[in-house]
Amino acid sequence: MPGAILERHGDVAVITIDNPPVNAMSVGVPSAILARLAEAQLDAAIKAVVVRGGGGGTIAGADIRMFGKPWPADEPTLRDVIAAFETSPKPVVAALRGSCLGGGLELAMSAHYRVAGADASVGQPEVKLGFPPGAGGTQRLPRLAGVDAALPMIVEGNPIGAARALEFGVVDRVVDGDPLAGALAFARERVAAGGPHPRARDKAAKVNDPKIFEATRAAVARRARGLRAPLACIECVAAAVNLPFDDGVKRERAIFEACMASPESAALRHVFFAERAIGKVPGVAKDTTKKTIAKGGVVGSGTMGTGIAMNFANAGIPVKLFDADAVALKRCMATIEKNYAGSVARGSLAKDKADKAFALIQPVSDLATFADVDMVIEAVFEEMPIKLEVFRALDKACKPGAILASNTSYLNIDTIADAVPARHGDVLGTHFFSPANVMRLLEVVRTKSVSAETLMTVLDLGRRMRKVPVVAGACHGFIGNRMLEGYFREAVFLLEEGASPTQVDKAITDFGFPMGPFTVGDLAGLDISWRKRKAGEAGRDKTKRYSPLGDRLCERGRFGQKTGAGYYRYEAGSRAPIPDPEVDDLIVAVAKEQGIARRSIGDEEIVQRCLHPLVNEGARILDDGIALRAGDIDIVWLNGYAFPAWRGGPMHWADTVGLSGIVVTIERFGRDHDFWEPARLLVRLAREGRHFADLDKEDAHA
């Protein structure tokens, strides 16, 4: 039962918030804190109060699970606790340890003083959930830290460490170790010094840079296109400067409530919980023993191998990078060195850290050196016979129990596991996205026989590499790329039917993607999918519609940006896509050849034609058990394909559109086009009036 505990340390009462794991302000916590505070006020022997979080000390703020649900009428709120601290006749000191975030920081700022452990961090991350702080954070933080420091903290939502917080005036003292002793000592000093004790509300919110609001608004417009919450944060902080404190608090609350009710916030809250669910594998205990990965190995020094070796090194794991081709290996090490130098030059990595990471990568030309590695990731050509050969060689070279992973985008990982039958439980797929050292998504592909220990070890390794590891089942394209096929297919069909590359791309960027499909295609290189299409031509279903447009572009040497021409043309040295009449003519010619009458196509149809295939295939992927949850699919699309987070991902977006509407649209398209058959699961959910989110809730409770 969430609550709060009171202990007496001589003349100081210590209130410890007791709501594991992160001491969120759930129902029961505010009332318990108020009751303990009342006890402390009534006790004449108590001269001061210290408040802190229990366990690791983190106070994560309001209970996010309660948003959108009614708060019980008989339970006080966080704001009531804040008012009680602020008006306390006895000084209140917040002792901060771990993360003090959102409502946690708002609570701490209502205390008269704050003492932080050196490991503490403080922040107002609410903007990442689609709303500004709602319990006075935007009014108190600028008063304590000044607007120049507070505004970026509130608008970007990133926490700061204890030393910074001291510099900004957010905390009054930083101590080593557990801050309780420091807070007790501080409380006694302040009692001895006598009142009145300072309140954040009585200070003025100082602005050093008069252009800061304007500059932040402009930066938000550039960076956070389509998002309401960062602008709302700016509005709230401006109120701290322009309005008396109580009016500012009222203004903040009104803006907070409006944002909280927005689809943007619902989507971002969905993402928050989906991100936390991905580490949970039904049927596998969270505390499953994991293997130790102290030494890694990578086979193949191409683009993927290069990035994967850097991932090991960035996680502090020594890694052997194998290639039989000495020239390729040398080139790869030079690329890695250049990549690290680039990070140092951009200021994203300290020189000593870059040097340390680079030193962890050891180029090797003999697989026998892999005898002591705990895990190998193979990143050779995407061709089954080559992969099988590598796995047989690894079987001979590696110690028993070493994890053998194949970095593949499409291949059947079970076939690969079958090549090393004695190691069945140790084999799985790791699908990194390119560039592998930059992109956060990692699909961890299960074989039929992989052990729980291996799976949990690799998920853990993914997190150590600062990736977002999502479990996928074995199938062609796994989760992300399997869904991508329909998206690109329809985008090209739309060109034949009457749209232009610019129109399709604009409709998709207006939806919220940073780039449309044709800009992405030109960036990635059109020749890659061309090669794949040629290889699969024999097996293609010739009864279904096929657009030769992509092939025709490649036949003309238009491979995208790298050749200065693809769906667009590019000036030398520029990445800006320019519409090209040659492509327009080609589209018209291809449409004529296919007997397609071109027509005017609206943006709504473009979005539906491109996105409904994602939802439909996503439903099949769920039904097939390839993804564990609809939320996992959303996380894949957010982190691997830049689906806008404020839309929540394709499955959450489908829930907001309504599944029955999506089924009706798919059936309508199906009357005129191939490939449009609603997925069984989608039809069932629509018929039952349910959502993908309902399935995830059922799983969470299973």
- Residues in contact with ligand 3HC by the rule CB under 6 A: 21-22, 24, 58, 60-65, 78, 99, 101-103, 106, 125-126, 129, 133-135, 137, 276
Amino acid making up residue 335 = T
Which burial class, exposed, middle or buried, applies to 391 when counting CB atoms under 10 A from its CB (0-12, 13-18, 19+)? buried
Q: Which is nearer to ligand 3HC, 99 or 454 (CB)?
A: 99
Q: Which is nearer to ligand 3HC, 136 or 678 (CB)?
A: 136
Q: Which is nearer to ligand 3HC, 85 or 186 (CB)?
A: 85
**DSSP state letter for 62:** B
Give the contacts of 692 (CB within 8 A, at least 6 positions apart): 618, 619, 622, 630, 651, 652, 654, 655, 659, 685
Q: How far is the CB of 263 from ligand 3HC (least distance, A)?
A: 18
198 preceded by a cis bond (ω within 30 of 0): no
Q: How many other C-beta atoms lie within 10 A of the C-beta of residue 77?
A: 15
Q: How far is the CB of 313 from ligand 3HC (least distance, A)?
A: 24
Choice among 7, 39, 75, 106 that is catalytic: 106
Please identify which residue in the block is written with the tokens 């086979």. 299
- What does the alpha-carbon distance between residue 299 and residue 297 come to, in Å, rounded to a whole number? 7
Q: Which is nearer to ligand 3HC, 78 or 659 (CB)?
A: 78
- What does the alpha-carbon distance between residue 28 and residue 50 come to, in Å, rounded to a whole number? 20
Give the contacts of 295 (CB within 8 A, at least 6 positions apart): 317, 318, 319, 320, 372, 373, 374
Please identify which residue in the block is written with the tokens 């009142």. 195
Q: Is residue 106 annotated as a catalytic residue, yes or no?
A: yes
Considering Cα of 152, then 155, then 156, then 157, what sign does the dihedral take? positive
Q: How far is the CB of 97 from ligand 3HC (least distance, A)?
A: 12
Q: Which residues pair with 160 in a beta bridge?
A: 122
Q: Which residues pair with 25 in a beta bridge?
A: 62
Q: Is residue 275 annotated as a catalytic residue, yes or no?
A: no
Q: How far is the CB of 113 from ligand 3HC (least distance, A)?
A: 21
Q: Which is nearer to ligand 3HC, 277 or 528 (CB)?
A: 277
- What does the alpha-carbon distance between residue 229 and residue 127 come to, in Å, rounded to a whole number? 6
Q: How far is the CB of 112 from ligand 3HC (least distance, A)?
A: 20
Would you call 5 helix, strand, or coil by DSSP?
A: strand
Choice among 7, 39, 75, 126 that is catalytic: 126
Give the contacts of 515 (CB within 8 A, at least 6 positions apart): 505, 508, 509, 523, 642
Q: Which residues pair with 470 in a beta bridge?
A: 443
Length of the chain: 702
Residue nearest to ligand 3HC (CB): 102
Q: Which is nearer to ligand 3HC, 62 or 150 (CB)?
A: 62
Q: How far is the CB of 77 from ligand 3HC (least distance, A)?
A: 9
Please identify which residue in the block is written with the tokens 């020749």. 527
Q: Which is nearer to ligand 3HC, 125 or 486 (CB)?
A: 125
Nearest to 145 by CA among 205, 211, 82: 205
Give the contacts of 488 (CB within 8 A, at least 6 positions apart): 517, 521, 529
Q: How far is the CB of 553 from ligand 3HC (least distance, A)?
A: 45
Q: Which is nearer to ligand 3HC, 259 or 304 (CB)?
A: 259
Q: How far is the CB of 441 from ligand 3HC (least distance, A)?
A: 19
Give percent helix, percent strand, percent coil of the chain, each to the nearest 5: 55, 10, 35
- What does the alpha-carbon distance between residue 525 and residue 527 come to, in Å, rounded to a whole number? 6
- What does the alpha-carbon distance between residue 446 and residue 455 come to, in Å, rounded to a whole number? 7
Q: Which is nearer to ligand 3HC, 126 or 655 (CB)?
A: 126
Residues recognised as catalytic: 106, 126
